[in-house]
Amino acid sequence: MMKPRTCGREDEPDVSENANNSNENPASSAQRNAERLRDFDPRWADRFVVLGAGRSGLAAARLLASLGKFVTVCDDGNRSDDEAVQALAEGGADFIWANRTGAEVALGCAEALVVSPGVPAGHSLIASAEARGLPIVGELELAWRFSGDARIVAVTGTNGKTTVTMLIRHLLEAAGLPAVETGNIGHPFSDAVREAAADPKPPILVVEVSSFQLEWVARFAPDVAVLLNITPDHLDRHGSMKEYAEAKRRIAQFQRADQTLVVNQDDAACLAATQDARARLVFFSLDRPVDLGAWVDDDRLAIAAEGSKPHGLIELDELPLFGMHNAANALAAACAASALGVGRKTIARALKTFQAAPHRLESVATVGGVEFVNDSKATNLDALVKAVESFNAPVHLIAGGRDKDSPFASVRSRLEGRVACAYLIGEASDRIAQAWDGAVKIAPCETMDKALEAARVAACAGEVVLLAPGCASFDQFANYAERGEAFARWVRELQARTPQTKHETAESARP
Ligand code: UMA
């Protein structure tokens, strides 16, 4: 039976201090909404409008419909051919496609508007709901309100979210604790909550959480929150770094003192964002030992759990993931698993057997001595730089795509001397070329195929061709996975038509 989270529990923080409490500054619409949501209990509401008929919106609608609520789903596009839409419609949900009048009528009868993560806060239906005084609830918050006693781990950060989410699930399962990956990783949280409620042995829900999902959080309080890093990303959506960091901060804003917050000790923005946290703090660091948490001690990962002495876990080179950023990811996951009771020996054993997700520094093949590496998931500048810094050989970098207002010039000095040539594709090409001109050699290529061909011709044995776009994929591809697959397909075709030498293995040029 699906149990809701109770609202206004005595042990929950008084969110009024997080909302606007000053007469001098008028409350922002987000703060007013947080106040409205504080008192809103979805158990007692019957009629919901869901904005966005993508994965999250449909999952939210399925969750609400399973609880006997009346649901209308509005979308600016038309996805009526979608099987999931048809199934929901047959189950009684209404759909309104790109029809503002119909959407307004639905809103007039609704008690709350549920927002999909991809819908920007400035959407006219959100403004309309605000004008009507309706609570606006994000899909993450909605699902959490219905998650009952399920144990929840939430992972956010600019980079590494997916890897850490997967690592935590892996560590929990190694300890015999059933766990499910959910959220931004692709399996909507609303579905995971609905499925967990029907499970006699509910799993721990490990939720990858994006800044988009955190925009509408008003009470979300995971048992364990993990904040990995905060570097510029999605500035086109959030407007400024301040707003972006503010969204990330919400992962811990409503946690209680008996919950755990795992924070990157080496990231000043993370430390600033969690200054007021109420939860028990656990740190991870690549630079120095911590009292409670995990760190790198010489070439060994180490951990100090609550009430126990520091212990070594595994050697850095036993970790089946490349780059120091992945060592930090492993430390973060170890802290989260430890907070949920997983012992250090199990953590150590399981870290050695983790398999990385595709499109993340994935070595596709070595052809003619050149290693081709797919890091299509590097969709922002920080990830791009970390990917480049993972190699000690000259890098032929394929970058570009949809621009997210990223400060490309800020990474010039970190690419200089490492990148032999940048092969630029997609909409952001001109801005990147201007920003990097003089620091690295530039080859405008427009498309992936042209970039790969140019890089193949230029790269010598021992060098690396790296796809780390530093941009979103949506100008030329459906998503980062499709972009990574296009890269990998081209490389495999190249490999098939190139005679391989005896020594040609996917041996890495990484340090
Ligand atoms: N839509 C509108 N009006 C708008 C915007 C969108 O009607 O103004 C409609 C679209 O027509 C479409 C639907 O909304 O029908 C799409 O909704 P959505 O953009 O929220 O996407 P979903 O399919 O629900 O997928 C979302 C996440 N997408 C985004 O945050 C953009 C997925 O993360 C996530 O896996 C999924 O929920 C399940 O939780 C993807 C992503 O790109 C991977 N995330 C960003 C990132 O990782 O950088 C944040």
Q: Is the dihedral of CA 52, 56, 61, 64 positive or negative?
A: negative
Return the CATH number at 459: 3.90.190.20
The C-alpha torsion from 97 through 102 and 105 to 110, rounded to 10°, is -10
> Under a CB-based contact definition with an 8 Å cutoff, are residues 195 and 419 in contact?
no
Three-state DSSP string of 147-180: CCCCCEEEEECCCCHHHHHHHHHHHHHHCCCCEE
Last residue of a domain, which of 141, 156, 177?
141
| Residue with CA at minimum distance from ligand 1 atom 46 | 210
* Residue 503 placed within a domain: no
Domain housing 366:
362-496
Return the CATH number at 288: 3.40.1190.10
pLDDT tens for 113-127 read: 999 999 999 999 999
* Residue 357 placed within a domain: no
Last residue of a domain, which of 86, 112, 141?
141
Please give all residues whose beta carbon lies within 6 A of any atom in ligand 1, as ranges.
52-57, 75-77, 79, 116-120, 123, 183-184, 186, 188, 210, 212
* Residue 4 placed within a domain: no
* Residue 19 placed within a domain: no
Q: Tell me, yes or no, whether 61 and 120 share the same domain.
A: yes
Q: Tell me, yes or no, whether 339 and 431 share the same domain.
A: no
Q: Tell me, yes or no, whether 172 and 195 share the same domain.
A: yes
Percent of all residues in the chain with a pLDDT value above 90, rounded to a whole number: 79
* Residue 212 placed within a domain: yes
> Under a CB-based contact definition with an 8 Å cutoff, are residues 139 and 190 in contact?
yes
Q: Tell me, yes or no, whether 165 and 306 share the same domain.
A: yes
User: Which tokens in the block code for residue 375?
Assistant: 């890091």
pLDDT tens for 281-327 read: 999 999 999 999 999 998 999 999 988 889 999 999 999 888 889 99
pLDDT of residue 33: 87
Q: State the chain's maximal CA–CA distance in angstroms.
A: 75
Q: Tell me, yes or no, whether 434 and 327 share the same domain.
A: no
Q: For each of the chain's 511 residues, which pLDDT tens digit applies?
A: 455 554 333 333 333 333 333 333 434 677 788 888 888 999 899 999 999 999 999 999 999 999 999 999 999 999 998 999 999 999 999 999 999 999 999 999 999 999 999 999 999 999 999 999 999 999 999 999 999 999 999 999 998 999 999 999 999 999 999 999 999 999 999 999 999 999 999 999 999 999 999 998 999 999 999 999 998 788 888 888 898 999 999 999 999 999 999 999 999 999 999 999 999 999 999 999 999 999 999 899 999 998 888 999 999 999 988 888 999 999 999 999 999 999 999 999 999 999 887 898 888 999 999 999 999 999 999 999 999 998 889 999 999 999 999 999 999 999 999 999 999 999 999 999 999 999 999 999 999 999 999 999 999 999 999 999 999 999 999 999 999 999 999 999 999 998 776 555 444 445 4
Give every CB contact of residue 146 below 8 A, 6+ residues apart in sequence. Answer: 2, 3, 4, 5, 42, 63, 67, 193, 194, 197
Instruction: Report CA(340)–ligand 1 centroid distance (Å).
Output: 30
Return the CATH number at 121: 3.40.50.720
Q: Tell me, yes or no, whether 78 and 171 share the same domain.
A: no
Of 338, 1, 5, 17, nearest in space to 140 by CA: 5
Last residue of a domain, which of 317, 351, 385?
351
Buried-state track 415-424, b at ≥16 Cβ within 10 A, e below 16: beebbbbbbb
Q: Tell me, yes or no, whether 188 and 331 share the same domain.
A: yes
Q: Tell me, yes or no, whether 310 and 374 share the same domain.
A: no
Q: Tell me, yes or no, whether 384 and 453 share the same domain.
A: yes
> Under a CB-based contact definition with an 8 Å cutoff, are residues 317 and 352 in contact?
no
Q: What is the DSSP string of 251-282?
A: HHHT--TTSEEEEETT-HHHHHHTTT--SEEE
Give every CB contact of residue 122 below 8 A, 6+ residues apart in sequence. Answer: none
* Residue 486 placed within a domain: yes
The C-alpha torsion from 87 through 88 and 89 to 94, rounded to 10°, is -170
* Residue 485 placed within a domain: yes
Q: Report how many domains make up the chain.
A: 3
pLDDT tens for 217-238 read: 999 999 999 999 998 788 888 8
Question: Which numbered atom of ligand 1 lies nearest the CA of 98?
Answer: 7
* Residue 8 placed within a domain: no
Question: Which numbered atom of ligand 1 lies nearest the CA of 139?
Answer: 39
Q: Tell me, yes or no, whether 259 and 301 share the same domain.
A: yes
User: Which tokens in the block code for residue 145?
Assistant: 């309100």
Q: Tell me, yes or no, whether 176 and 295 share the same domain.
A: yes
Q: How many CA atoms lie within 13 A of 203 on its CB side?
A: 22
Instruction: Report CA(192)–ligand 1 centroid distance (Å).
Output: 17
Local structure of residue 410 (DSSP, 8 states): G
Strand partners, 440: 437
